[in-house]
């Protein structure tokens, strides 16, 4: 499973997603331009000491991701979709694509792939969910459908809250 963050802006969100990817053995793709430096202390802090467990790939643009991962299925998460993420029948090599915090994914991308756009349901009055929370919601549904491959299925290991 692959998590693709297109032009992320907030280092704490990206760090949280990196930690999630480490815990779930997912590849993290960061698409430039990034709103921070990879060496950002807030990014490193949010990811804690999990960075050595994360396969992080940095791409110059989204077209580079599309080219490198031809043959993979891409799902675009956006508040502008009508379809629910829970309706996706996930496969292990799927690419879950998320946009930047302030604007989401580019309109032209969403218009190009309307049947691959999905949303997380929420109250109409709410504008959006936090990006790292949305990644967690969708990725855990994918993992649940796949039977949590390579993961311990016992209790949650919380050593401390951050």
The verdict on whether residue 77 carries a ligand-binding annotation is yes
The verdict on whether residue 116 carries a ligand-binding annotation is no
The verdict on whether residue 139 carries a ligand-binding annotation is no
SS3 string of the chain? Answer: CEEEEECCCCHHHHHHHHHHHHHHCCEEEEECCCCCCCCCHHHHHHCCCCHHHCEEEEECCHHHHHHHCCCCCEEEECCCCCEEHHHCCCCCCCEEEECECCCECCHHHHHHCHHHEEECCCCCCCCCCCHHHHHHHHHHHHHHHCCCCCCCCCCCCCCCCC
The verdict on whether residue 128 carries a ligand-binding annotation is yes
Give the residue numbers of the binding site: 77, 99, 120, 128
Binding residues for S-adenosyl-L-methionine: 77, 99, 120, 128
């Amino acid at each position: 499973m692959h998590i693709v963050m297109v032009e992320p802006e907030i280092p704490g969100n990206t760090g949280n997603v990196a930690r999630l990817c480490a815990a779930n053995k997912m590849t993290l793709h960061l698409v430039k331009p990034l709103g921070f430096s990879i060496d950002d202390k807030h990014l490193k802090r949010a990811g804690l000491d999990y960075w050595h467990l994360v396969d992080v790939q940095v791409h110059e643009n989204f077209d580079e991701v599309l080219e490198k991962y031809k043959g993979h299925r891409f799902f675009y998460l956006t508040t502008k979709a009508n379809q629910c993420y829970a309706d996706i029948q996930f496969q292990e090599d799927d690419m879950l694509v998320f946009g930047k915090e302030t604007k989401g994914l580019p309109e032209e991308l969403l218009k190009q792939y309307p049947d691959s756009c999905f949303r997380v349901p929420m109250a109409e009055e709410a504008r959006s969910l936090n990006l790292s929370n949305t990644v967690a919601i969708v990725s855990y549904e994918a993992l649940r459908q796949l039977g949590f491959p390579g993961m311990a299925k016992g209790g949650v290991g919380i050593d401390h809250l951050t």
